[in-house]
A and B are shown apart, each in its own frame.
Chain A
Amino acid sequence: MSKTLHLTIDDRPVRVSPGTTIWQAARDHGIDIPVLCHDPKMTPVGVCRMCVVDIGTRVLAAACVRECEDGMVVRTRSPRVEQQRRVLLEWLLADHPVPCEREKTTGDCELEFLARQFGIVKSSCDAVASRQNGAARIDSSSRVIAVDHQACILCDRCIRACDEIQCNEVIGRMGRGTFTRIAFDLNDPMGKSTCVSCGECAAACPTGALTHKPITLPLVPESQTQAIDSVCPYCGVGCALTYHVFNNTIIRAEGRDNPGSEGRLCVKGRYGWDYALHHQRLTKPLIRRPEFYPKGPLSRAVKETGPSKPGGIVDYDEVLPAFREASWDEALDLVAANLLRIKKEHGPGALAGFGSAKCSNEEAYLFQKLIRAALGTNNVDHCTRLCHASSVAALLECIGSGAVTDVFGHIRHAEVALITGSNTTANHPVAATFFKQAAKRGTKLIVVDPRRPAIADFATWYCRIKPGSDVAFYNAIMHVLIYEGLIDEEYIQNHTENFTELRAVVEKYAPEYVSPLCGIEAPTIREIARTIGRSKSMMIFWGMGISQHTHGTDNARCLIALCLLTGNIGRLGTGLHPLRGQNNVQGASDAGLIPMVYPDYQPVGSEAVRQKFEAAWKAPLDPKPGLTVVEIMAAALRGDIRGMLMMGENPFLSDPNVNKVRQALARLDFLAVQDIFLTETAEFADVILPASSFLEKTGTYTNTDRRVQIGRKVLDPPGDARLDWQILCDLSHRLGYPMHYDSPEEIFAEFADLTTNYRGLNYDNLGATGKVWPCPKPMTSDGTLVLFGEGFPTPTGKGKFVPCEVAPADELPDDDFPFILNTGRILEHWHTGTMTRRASILNDLKPGPFAEAHPDDLARLGIRSGEPVTVRSRRGSIRLPVLASDSVTRGSIFIPFHFREAAANVLTNDALDPFGKIPEFKFCAVKMER
């Protein structure tokens, strides 16, 4: 037990534990000591000396770094202290432009605030004696951050924000003495440096040295804005943030503390929200004009005839003439009449719905309820099918639950972390900051990926395995673990089954056998296996690189087996964490937007479950599991699916083999699209319903950690656009299945009641920071962060080893198509770009498509980096510039799939994993030509 220290601060008795700084002790007791360089989230450095206090010694002590001692007598406001602070402020202010950029805009320059508090008056003067030694004072090269070196007080906060919090390590100091200043990389202009525009430095800066540039309206002080607590609409990390709204316009976003994201944001969250204000927002229901039948694509990019106009978004001039505005009544009547007609003529099985993981839990729940209860089919799915369907299939099979077993932040408790098939810094940027931080503090990262991700810079081992060789590699690791006795036999005995079968299969996967298959030297495989086997705790994180294969389920089974084999599950800093992609892919799946399960993964095929939902929804339900995303498209092409409802999905760009999707969408008898923009998919629609964006509605979203958080309405929907849940209720009413709710809260209550995992949660107890499900005691607990300490929700209560053999990819490279195509995402863009390409900052940062190929391959083909090439597969071709990149392995090409003008999914293979029904986005054969 540690001793308690007794001291007095400003004559008040104070008790603290050893190691507490004077600043922290004072703050905990309501005594405010002014600081400039200190931020409790960062390592204290004590460079500004503003926080000096009198502890009776010859010199004053810096409270932010000086630790409390027993019997210490601290004075925080003696005349001596005040005098020193005043002199410091006068000196700092001497060459500080007053008012600085921060003071002029958000009005919160901490230096000028303190100066005012100390009664130091300095008349406005922008022109101060330069201390820039001839270097430029202003750097406006960054798209998002303005730099004024003259306003910098060298407090080091930006450097620590960049190094310690985001771990990007872009900012340093340069020079010395008067001429010291901050520098980006090698004193590059900020916009040309390796800065990833996360904005953490500008958020940390106390003065006008680093400030956010305005995105919509000019920035104004917080006192003039309305601050609305919400969450980020982009990825599954679900960062908490606050939007500052002025005149019904967001002017900036700020990270907000919560146990998951700890106030951090990435470029998308901090700067990518103005898509909602884009002039292309749909504001009226649209009905296709009769002369535009038979249906087909409208824009040149979607038709694939000739080049589209520059810029990556749908050209409304090309598509809008095909539609006329209509009233909501007319549009909804038309949708209902057509869906009912198709149901009557061809049965409910001829209908299908795609919901979206971008919509809230409430909307996902209502959507699947409408499809199931009002239309009578289980043909309802969403983009989870395209991301982690195989992971979820494997998890359900092996451990009885598809969700993560521990939260990403707990990597800090893990001795080893395996990160595989995940370009974390681009796709889960804020989760990546925790990974990098953990690595710096001693967690050994093992990064396994054919394409070298940036997180590999922090790895103890980076293994560039051959594409598609995951099963071989992990079987070899398990082989070593088993044959060197590095497995947790007690855990295997008590908590698992099928071990003998696993041992039999991995027996032949000795590292020497596997090495040529996966491209990793046998000693390295052994060394990694030993590190895993000897560690006390290991977490496994994975992304689409594991799941998006025809053997994606096998890949995930191997990872699960690896955790079970070493007993790395159910404890702090252990476990399985498939990093979920969309902000609500966990929640949309939880809410039942899946063809084979009702909410909370209750199987459609179970008689008892069906009866439960028939009673709850007061409607007969189809006992047959429905079709999945890619199966629905195939059925549409065959003419088996004739009518579809699409809420917020854009399969035209997100599904594999776009040319097939194009034919399928054109073939549909009736398509209604509910979205915020006229997407590529909507070009094939009969009716388009203008919906509300994330920023215009309130609802709950469940992040990758299973944290259920409330996203709150920030803006009013534009024009006649309506809230999605209200659209669904009105449509359902017209379909003869009335649904009535007064609020999203009421929908959430109905949904939560039908589940085990959400039961007990409501908007009140979710509060500002949300809860991690399951949360049996929501009044007192943050929820269950670590799952399965006491067995698994499987019939036997045990985890199951499912051994896997190596299987080849569906389409291997050959003489005609010699390259392997890998698709993925980049930091600045989101999925089909519907939002991010209309977010001004993100679009400016990464305006167009590109491919990456190894410099040696380009040299061999005589292609220069930056030159346009045609990339062709058996299914189609696209033209785009190719960039030389060492991160891609020889013989492969990487293309991000965000860009409609060069849609990567024109090339991809729609072959499916037999269990997860996920397409093989990560592997197909292509060729590259000038």
Chain B
Amino acid sequence: MSVLSEDMKQRILSYLPRYPSKQAVTLPALHIVQDELRYVPLEAIREIADLLDLSPAEVHDTLTFYRFFRTDEKNKLGRTRLWVCQGLACQLRGCDATLARLCNTLKIKPGQTTADGKITVEAAECIGVCEGAPAVLINDEARPNVAEEKVEQLIAELTQ
């Protein structure tokens, strides 16, 4: 049984014409898999390697260079990956309190996922939204001005 669905394979292959080498599709492929499965199973690495004519070791090499990817099913991402920026501007505007309130309310530590699998909270390096500090990333989307008191509202939105 294949870990990658036919749809995922096709999406990965659709990247091939964009790049001079198949190897260049490694990161898009890993993103596609993690977006869908919320982690990258080891078997998926083998299948990506197969699609891209690489050795599994090469794909694993790239994957492990980035902390972004998770390979353990027990530690897979929730539906929403919520990054709380730890940049200087956000620090000055209270991001620590935002992160603490998030974690306390959700009863998890940074890096963990709620038991219902809805939210993963992570601390991020500067996400470049300093004008709206303290800021968070909701998956790929930046949300400015998430001060401590807005945390409950945010959680309510994300757990609907």
Shortest beta-carbon distance, A24 to chain B, in Å? 28
Contact B58 A172 (CB under 8 A): yes
The answer to whether the Cβ of B45 comes within 8 Å of any Cβ in the partner chain is yes
Contact A172 B65 (CB under 8 A): no
Contacts of B42 in A (CB 8 A): 186
Contact B65 A169 (CB under 8 A): no
Residue of B45, B46, B55, B64 touching A169 (CB-CB under 8 A): B55
The answer to whether the Cβ of A185 comes within 8 Å of any Cβ in the partner chain is yes
Contact B56 A186 (CB under 8 A): yes
Nearest residue in B to A175 (C-beta to C-beta)? B64
Contacts of A176 in B (CB 8 A): 64-65
The answer to whether the Cβ of A509 comes within 8 Å of any Cβ in the partner chain is no
Contacts of B8 in A (CB 8 A): none
Contacts of A187 in B (CB 8 A): 60, 64
Contact B65 A184 (CB under 8 A): no
Binary flags per residue of B55-87, CB closer than 8 Å to A gives 1, else 0: 111101100110000000000000000000000
Cα separation A171 to B45 with both chains bound (whole Å): 15
Query: Max chain A CB contacts within 10 Å: which of B46, B61, B65?
Result: B61
Contact B65 A183 (CB under 8 A): no
Contacts of B58 in A (CB 8 A): 169, 172
Contact A186 B57 (CB under 8 A): yes
Contact B65 A175 (CB under 8 A): yes
Nearest residue in A to B53 (C-beta to C-beta)? A457
Cα separation A185 to B58 with both chains bound (whole Å): 8
Interface size on B, residues (CB 8 A): 11
Contacts of A175 in B (CB 8 A): 64-65
Contact B60 A170 (CB under 8 A): no
Shortest beta-carbon distance, A341 to chain B, in Å? 64
Cα separation A175 to B46 with both chains bound (whole Å): 18
Contacts of B60 in A (CB 8 A): 172, 174, 183, 185-187
Contacts of A174 in B (CB 8 A): 60-61, 64-65
Contacts of A171 in B (CB 8 A): 57
Contact B45 A172 (CB under 8 A): no
The answer to whether the Cβ of A122 comes within 8 Å of any Cβ in the partner chain is no
Cα separation A176 to B63 with both chains bound (whole Å): 10
The answer to whether the Cβ of A173 comes within 8 Å of any Cβ in the partner chain is yes
Contacts of B61 in A (CB 8 A): 172-174, 183
Cα separation A172 to B62 with both chains bound (whole Å): 9
Contact B65 A185 (CB under 8 A): no
Shortest beta-carbon distance, B33 to chain A, in Å? 14
Cα separation A185 to B42 with both chains bound (whole Å): 10
Cα separation A172 to B61 with both chains bound (whole Å): 6
Shortest beta-carbon distance, B71 to chain A, in Å? 8
Contact A185 B57 (CB under 8 A): yes
Nearest residue in A to B54 (C-beta to C-beta)? A169
Cα separation A173 to B61 with both chains bound (whole Å): 5
Binary flags per residue of A156-176, CB closer than 8 Å to B gives 1, else 0: 000000010000011111111
Nearest residue in A to B62 (C-beta to C-beta)? A172
Cα separation A186 to B60 with both chains bound (whole Å): 6
Cα separation A920 to B124 with both chains bound (whole Å): 67
Shortest beta-carbon distance, B119 to chain A, in Å? 27
Shortest beta-carbon distance, A577 to chain B, in Å? 26
Contact A170 B55 (CB under 8 A): yes
Nearest residue in B to A169 (C-beta to C-beta)? B55
Shortest beta-carbon distance, B60 to chain A, in Å? 5
Shortest beta-carbon distance, B56 to chain A, in Å? 5
Nearest residue in B to A171 (C-beta to C-beta)? B57
Shortest beta-carbon distance, A7 to chain B, in Å? 34
Cα separation A169 to B46 with both chains bound (whole Å): 13
Cα separation A175 to B58 with both chains bound (whole Å): 12
Cα separation A169 to B55 with both chains bound (whole Å): 6
Contacts of A183 in B (CB 8 A): 57, 60-61, 64
Cα separation A173 to B42 with both chains bound (whole Å): 16
Contacts of A184 in B (CB 8 A): 57
A-B contact pairs, 29 of them (CB 8 A): A169-B57, A170-B55, A170-B57, A171-B57, A172-B55, A172-B57, A172-B58, A172-B60, A172-B61, A173-B61, A173-B64, A174-B60, A174-B64, A174-B65, A175-B64, A175-B65, A176-B64, A176-B65, A183-B57, A183-B60, A183-B64, A185-B57, A186-B45, A186-B46, A186-B56, A186-B57, A186-B60, A187-B60, A187-B64
Residues of B within 8 A of A (CB): 42, 45-46, 55-58, 60-61, 64-65
Known: A175-B65, A183-B57; 18 extra A-B contacts, CB below 8 A, are A169-B57, A170-B57, A171-B57, A172-B55, A174-B60, A175-B64, A176-B64, A176-B65, A183-B60, A183-B61, A185-B57, A185-B60, A186-B45, A186-B46, A186-B56, A186-B57, A186-B60, A187-B60
Q: Which 8 A-B pairs have the closest CB atoms?
A: A172-B57, A169-B55, A172-B61, A174-B64, A186-B42, A186-B60, A176-B65, A173-B61
